[in-house]
Structure 1
């Protein structure tokens, strides 16, 4: 097939996307496809408008890639692509909206509240509202951002203002949520809509205090235990809730769903990643290897699922 891989982009996750794109391009070529790589930039849309390919594989992360905007452009051009559509992508990127959907459908989430900077006269007012609504420790982060960029675990009062400022650099909406301590796990989901399956669960043990940007992408930044050493009943629940979350948002082909297992051994959902990392240190490929899929096989599986969608 003639496949274009969009990677790079302009978000804070550009470097990660460059690595993801390189891996996807190599895998597709190894599987015999005719591949064109495009370092995507919204100011160079001609590259997309002039595409003549069978399929687009999105290797983008973060804004202008994972949030539905590129998906909408490709839909208008009637160019098929791998992964979730506009609505699912936008909902998954909007953490506040997706948390509401999960909570309304019985999936446990951390208590949270969003603060739009335009609704308050200044950051001091936002800080005051946060103090009255939350007790330390809590998390302040951008509502729409990936890879924990702009996130602060607030343990002291004096961290609140700097945390708000940091989050607002990425998004005009600040999301505050209770800090949940526990084991961090993630569940890859793959399949056509209505026929999804969960791959083996991965436990993430970061070298830093939490699974931050460096822990995710620096070699040796975290340890991945796969399959996670979790009792069977909890394993079944995590995998079922991962598929449920994927379906509630309307995701397609693949996603990765992040959870914290709290001290009561309950899974608390964090977020759904519609375009999870596919770098050499990424989680999804680690899990796929356990069921016998090489990296190249995994990428090809996504292509085949996308082709099945087109033929329906």
Structure 2
């Protein structure tokens, strides 16, 4: 097939997307496809011209964050009638909007941390919930802008002028415990990985810096918790209407294993999971016997428009 790989772009996740796109392009070429790379930083008019000139059979979407993961580029490709990988317009937009996604998860019976919408000025005036709590931008990925507010914290990043993630924020209680994640490939959850950052929490740096986080796959949790995470990931994938590959992130309050209050909480679903050498979806696919070139080839074969 003639495949155009979209990567780069203008979001705060640009650097990760560049790595993902190059890795996917190389894998697709190794599978015999004719591949061109397009950096969305060049702009939409240039993309339209390239699509009309190249007339690719498939667009492989390796973008992360805004414009590539929120339904915008999906809508453009729908209008152009060019099949593309990963989720469509609606699923992408819903997953990127953490508030809307939480509503759909609740309707599907999936437990999430209770959250409330606030803004920076209100947060600076006083804590909306007891500490510790988590502050998240409503529409960002890769833990960009996420802040854990603990007892005694005073110098908070969202109080600074260079915050850069908008005024509206989502506030959730902090769930103690362990970080778990599950990739879903179409209608099949792949595995459960436990993520153990060597320092701090699983933020952007911990995700994309080699040696910052230990990946344990399969996760060393009780089999009942393992199965519950797999089932919840698939249910979340379906609740949003995702296709291709997605990845669900969880917090597991392991006091539940001792019979105390706790349990498994769904945090969010990523419709454009990273495809870098440190990324979780390729790692889980390999655990299931699916090499990286086969995973990327499968995504291209299952590309479609809404």
Cα offset for 1:302?
1.2
Determine helix, strand or coil for the equivalent of 1:103: helix
Determine helix, strand or coil for the equivalent of 2:43: helix
* 2:108–2:235 contact (8 Å) kept in structure 1: no
2:142 is the alignment partner of 1:147: yes
Cross-structure match for 2:7: 7
Cross-structure match for 2:224: 233
Cross-structure match for 1:214: 205
Runs of 4+ in 1 over 4 A off after TM superposition: 164-168
TM-score, normalised to structure 2, is 0.92
CA change 1:255–1:166 in 2 (3 A) is farther
Cα offset for 1:245?
0.3
Number of residue equivalences: 297
Cross-structure match for 1:86: 89
Alpha-carbon distance in structure 1 between the residues aligned to 2:159 and 2:267: 20
Cross-structure match for 2:174: 179
Q: Which has the higher contact order (CA 8 A, sep 6+)?
A: 2
Determine helix, strand or coil for the equivalent of 2:180: strand
Cross-structure match for 1:120: none
Cross-structure match for 2:158: 163
Cross-structure match for 1:282: 279
Cross-structure match for 2:290: 293
Cα offset for 1:167?
9.2
* 2:9–2:68 contact (8 Å) kept in structure 1: yes
Gaps of 5+ in 1: 118-122
Alpha-carbon distance in structure 2 between the residues aligned to 1:104 and 1:168: 33
- 1:1-312 matches, within 5 Å, as 1-41=1-41, 43-51=43-51, 52-116=55-119, 123=121, 125-128=122-125, 131=127, 133-156=128-151, 158-159=153-154, 162-165=157-160, 169-191=164-186, 196-262=187-253, 263-265=255-257, 266-306=263-303
CA change 1:96–1:159 in 2 (3 A) is farther
Alpha-carbon distance in structure 2 between the residues aligned to 1:42 and 1:134: 43
* 2:133–2:174 contact (8 Å) kept in structure 1: yes
- What is the Cα-based RMSD across aligned positions, in Å? 1.9
* 1:187–1:256 contact (8 Å) kept in structure 2: yes
Cα offset for 1:269?
0.5
* 2:2–2:56 contact (8 Å) kept in structure 1: yes
Gaps of 5+ in 2: 258-262
Determine helix, strand or coil for the equivalent of 2:154: helix
